[in-house]
Structure 1
Amino acid sequence: MRIVIIGAYGLIGSYVSARLAADGHRTVGVGRDVEAARRRFPALEWKRADLATASVADWVAVLAGAEAVVNCAGALQDSPRDDLKAVHVEGLRRLAEACEAAGVRRLVHISAAGVGPGRSTAFNATKLEAEALLARSPLDWIILRPGLVFAPAAYGGTALLRGLAGFPGASPVVFGDSLVQTIGAEDLAVAVASCLAPDAPRRVSLDLVHGEALTLIDLVGRLRGWLGLRPVPTLRLPLLLARATAAVSDALAWLGWRSPMRTAALEQLRMGVRGQAEDAARLGLVPRSFDALLAAAPSGVQERWFARTYFAKPAILACLFAFWLLSGLIGLTVGLQDAIAILTAAGMDARLAAGAVIGGSLVDIALALLLIWRPTAARALQGMMLVTAGYLLAAALLRPDMWLDPMGPLLKSIPAAFLALAALATLDER
């Protein structure tokens, strides 16, 4: 069967794609940015399309020859990169119309457990509207509502849980008593595969969760044990601090950083993640428990590295931003004359020295500003390493005596460059 998978390189989509390909289906992956996806998943045929903007005609072209569609695309919160209404509702409406036009009857749509009336988030409202839209469609649709999806790969909310589990000294949590039901990514992929069978149920919405509901504190504690780390006390964070962190994360989202600590995620945690465990039997599926999922994917050193560096990564980026921004501002203000004097003492013309100091300070500020804009962060980190190397080389030629300065201004630049290297190495989100 030729199957089009939308959002095929996301956390859920990647496991669905792997399962369907292993089952012998001809799989077509669809996403906004497929260059890296082609390298990661060479067995799939890849086509570029954005659910938020693609027209019905665009989708008809993508669906040519397809017999089924699996929609794994979604977003958590509005941002410059994501428009919930466009992705969850309008995009799905155009996709459904294209399925009708292209003669594709089977549409499997991934929603979320707990979606329903009375939940205040835009995520919930748009997911609920999408489900209502499909219910009016003449297609042979099926809606799957997974709980908290746990996978060997770390991304989004489960990545945050690993970071909390790896936090030193204590496990910080908010809404620690909220109840969460889980589903394994591989079990979810098996469910999707079952939805494509000729005798699969049609025009139904099914929750996919294990029956055991765990508190957030319990989830973090079990993850910490899975990582092989000693137990630590739970630190219940004040709600005010959690909301302040979410507000900062919301602001950073407008700079391209899609943190799982945004307001929508916080609200989802407050409400919990619950579903009807018996629904999985409709697909012949018995979801594994959270403990069974952990036992089936033993942690290694890479999981411990990830958990321990999860919160170190934003701290490193913030430190680099402050270092380069302040360096540039100081160079343009209180440190301007001193910096010029250092260069003129080496025999450089005063005007040339002033230009070098001012130009270097502006470069420092530019690198700091490029760092906080997510699309240019990698280039900024590379630039920081190159500029540091340039500074050190120039100093070695013009003022080699500064290497012996007791304050160590040149020596201290070397750790800063390696800090940029560490940030660059951990910059990928998935």
Structure 2
Amino acid sequence: MNILILGATGFIGSVVAARLVADGHAVTGLGRNPTRARPKQPAIDWRRADLSHMTKADDWDEILNGQHAVVNCAGALQDGLSDNLAATQAEAMLALYAAAKRGSQPLIVQISARTAGAAGDLPFLATKRRADEALAASGLPCLILRPALVLGRNAHGGSSLLRALAALPLALPLVHAESPVETLSVDDVAEAVSRAVAVGLCGDINLAADEILTLADLVSLHRQWLGLLPARVFSLAPWLAKPVMWLADVAGLLGWRSPLRSTAMTVMSEGIRSVKGESGLVATSAAATLSANPSGVQDLWFARLYLLKPLVISGLSAFWLLSGLIPLLALQKTSAHFPPFMPESTATALTLATCLIDVALGAAVLVRPLAKRALLGMLAVSFAYLAGASLLEPTLWLDPLGPLVKVLPSILLTLTALATLDER
């Protein structure tokens, strides 16, 4: 069968795509940036597209041509610079259904979520519910699959945060530590999709393992999986998380997809539960999922670096912003190093220009779509500063305040940020 997968570069989508290829299907993968996915999964026909720009039925006609099934693994947690929930999770899906109805009417498999409960009115779940209801009423053959918290060999979103919390030293401070959480393996989702495609399984199915853990249990289980000694769990009052949620929401507006945003925390406040019916689908427990994928040192590195990454980015931003703003308070004094080599007016202009460059780089690194270019710019400017200062005034290397020596650790921090910048 010819199968189109939306969000094929994501955590769930990449596993579903691999499973369907192994089943012998011809898979087309849709993603916003499939450049790195293409060499990893060369058997897939990769197409670049942004669902938020595919909100009319005509946008889907070409890519749906010849497809026997469509699997929607795409989604976003919260509106921000990189995500538009209404367009991606609702309008694009309604356009897809309209195009499918007037075409070959392929099977639609929708990877959704439990949309009831206290968090049901949040845009994340409200847009999913709108798409689910439209799909159910469309008359198209369809399966709406509602998995609980999905665990897998790779980490993304909430599962990344679980690993990071599990790797904290000495103690595990948790908000909503007693919230109930149901889980399943990402391979269970792939199995459900594979079965739906093979036998035409349709309906609305909640999928989760037959166990209920608390968040504290799940974090402790991940700590054991990482090979770390047990640590005491401290339950924190929810209000203590509000400043963190606020910062995460601000970061989300700048394009960073933090699992600590208010939407995720609201969902976790009531737990992740499902109402399972008879579907014939079996889900794997959290312990079995983790034991089937033993951790390596790279998992421990990832867990320990995960919460350090935003500190590295914000620290670099503060360093470059202050490096540019502080000299502006005493511009003439700052430019005093240059007059022996150039006119005073030129020295002042050069100093002003370098300060503005520093400020621009410090601000740009906070914006996710600009972060990589800003980090590369920081490296280029740092090496230019070192080269220029070494040629014009090499005695600065001996300055007690170390204006040049301090550039070296900032270069290392920039390289660290570049190495950990990718999210998937």
TM-score range relative to shorter protein: over 0.9
For 1:182, the equivalent position in structure 2 comes to 183
Q: Does residue 300 of the first structure (1) align with residue 300 of the second (2)?
A: no
Q: Which moved more, 1:38-47 or 1:365-374?
A: 38-47
1:105-138 Cα deviation digits (max 9, x unpaired):
31111111x3226533222222222221122111
1:331-368 Cα deviation digits (max 9, x unpaired):
1113x233222233x54432222122111111100111
For 1:236, the equivalent position in structure 2 comes to 235
For 1:249, the equivalent position in structure 2 comes to 248
Give the letter aligned to residue 172 of structure 1: P
Describe the SS at the equivalent of 1:70.
Answer: strand
For 1:37, the equivalent position in structure 2 comes to 37
Rounded to whole Å, the distance in 2 between the matches of 1:26 and 1:315 is 43
Aligned ranges for residues 200-239 of structure 1 at < 5 Å?
A: 200-202=200-202, 204-239=203-238
Q: Shift in Å at residue 288 of structure 1?
A: 1.3
Aligned ranges for residues 397-408 of structure 1 at < 5 Å?
A: 397-408=391-402
Give the letter aligned to residue 405 of structure 1: D
Rounded to whole Å, the distance in 2 between the matches of 1:215 and 1:380 is 41
Task: Tell me if the contact between 1:211 and 1:277 (Cα under 8 Å) persists in the aligned partners.
Answer: no
Q: Does residue 121 of the first structure (1) align with residue 116 of the second (2)?
A: no
Q: Shift in Å at residue 228 of structure 1?
A: 0.9
For 1:11, the equivalent position in structure 2 comes to 11
Give the letter aligned to residue 185 of structure 1: V
1:226-257 Cα deviation digits (max 9, x unpaired):
11112222233332231221111111212111
**Structure 1 residues without counterparts, runs of 5 or longer:** none
Describe the SS at the equivalent of 2:155.
Answer: coil
Q: Shift in Å at residue 278 of structure 1?
A: 4.7
**Structure 2 residues without counterparts, runs of 5 or longer:** none
Rounded to whole Å, the distance in 2 between the matches of 1:373 and 1:402 is 33
Aligned ranges for residues 309-348 of structure 1 at < 5 Å?
A: 309-334=305-330, 336-344=331-339, 346-348=340-342
For 2:366, the equivalent position in structure 1 comes to 372
For 2:282, the equivalent position in structure 1 comes to 286
Rounded to whole Å, the distance in 2 between the matches of 1:235 and 1:406 is 45
Task: Tell me if the contact between 2:205 and 2:277 (Cα under 8 Å) persists in the aligned partners.
Answer: no
Q: Does residue 389 of the first structure (1) align with residue 383 of the second (2)?
A: yes
1:42-99 Cα deviation digits (max 9, x unpaired):
2111223333331212212101111111111111112233222222222211111111
Describe the SS at the equivalent of 2:99.
Answer: helix
Q: Shift in Å at residue 3 of structure 1?
A: 0.6
Aligned ranges for residues 115-194 of structure 1 at < 5 Å?
A: 115-116=115-116, 119-194=120-195
Rounded to whole Å, the distance in 1 between the matches of 2:50 and 2:381 is 37
Rounded to whole Å, the distance in 2 between the matches of 1:235 and 1:350 is 60
Rounded to whole Å, the distance in 1 between the matches of 2:142 and 2:116 is 19
Task: Tell me if the contact between 2:316 and 2:414 (Cα under 8 Å) persists in the aligned partners.
Answer: yes
Rounded to whole Å, the distance in 2 between the matches of 1:347 and 1:197 is 76
Residues 277, 399 of structure 1: CA spacing in aligned structure 2 closer, same or farther, 3 A cutoff?
same
Rounded to whole Å, the distance in 2 between the matches of 1:171 and 1:179 is 17
Describe the SS at the equivalent of 2:269.
Answer: helix
Give the letter aligned to residue 45 of structure 1: D
Task: Tell me if the contact between 1:180 and 1:213 (Cα under 8 Å) persists in the aligned partners.
Answer: yes
Could you tell me the percent identity over the aligned residues? Answer: 45
Q: Shift in Å at residue 181 of structure 1?
A: 0.5
Task: Tell me if the contact between 1:176 and 1:216 (Cα under 8 Å) persists in the aligned partners.
Answer: yes
Rounded to whole Å, the distance in 1 between the matches of 2:341 and 2:37 is 54
Q: What number of residue pairs does the alignment pair up?
A: 422
Rounded to whole Å, the distance in 2 between the matches of 1:235 and 1:409 is 43
Rounded to whole Å, the distance in 2 between the matches of 1:425 and 1:35 is 17
Q: Shift in Å at residue 277 of structure 1?
A: 4.2
Give the TM-score normalised by the residue count of structure 1: 0.94
For 1:26, the equivalent position in structure 2 comes to 26
Describe the SS at the equivalent of 1:257.
Answer: coil
Describe the SS at the equivalent of 1:273.
Answer: coil
Residues 89, 347 of structure 1: CA spacing in aligned structure 2 closer, same or farther, 3 A cutoff?
closer
Task: Tell me if the contact between 2:195 and 2:201 (Cα under 8 Å) persists in the aligned partners.
Answer: no
Q: Which moved more, 1:17-26 or 1:30-39?
A: 30-39
Rounded to whole Å, the distance in 1 between the matches of 2:332 and 2:109 is 67
Q: Shift in Å at residue 304 of structure 1?
A: 0.4
Q: Shift in Å at residue 144 of structure 1?
A: 0.4
For 1:110, the equivalent position in structure 2 comes to 111
Q: Shift in Å at residue 262 of structure 1?
A: 0.6
For 2:265, the equivalent position in structure 1 comes to 266
Describe the SS at the equivalent of 2:60.
Answer: helix
Q: Does residue 76 of the first structure (1) align with residue 77 of the second (2)?
A: yes
Describe the SS at the equivalent of 2:94.
Answer: helix
Task: Tell me if the contact between 1:60 and 1:101 (Cα under 8 Å) persists in the aligned partners.
Answer: no
Rounded to whole Å, the distance in 2 between the matches of 1:236 and 1:348 is 62
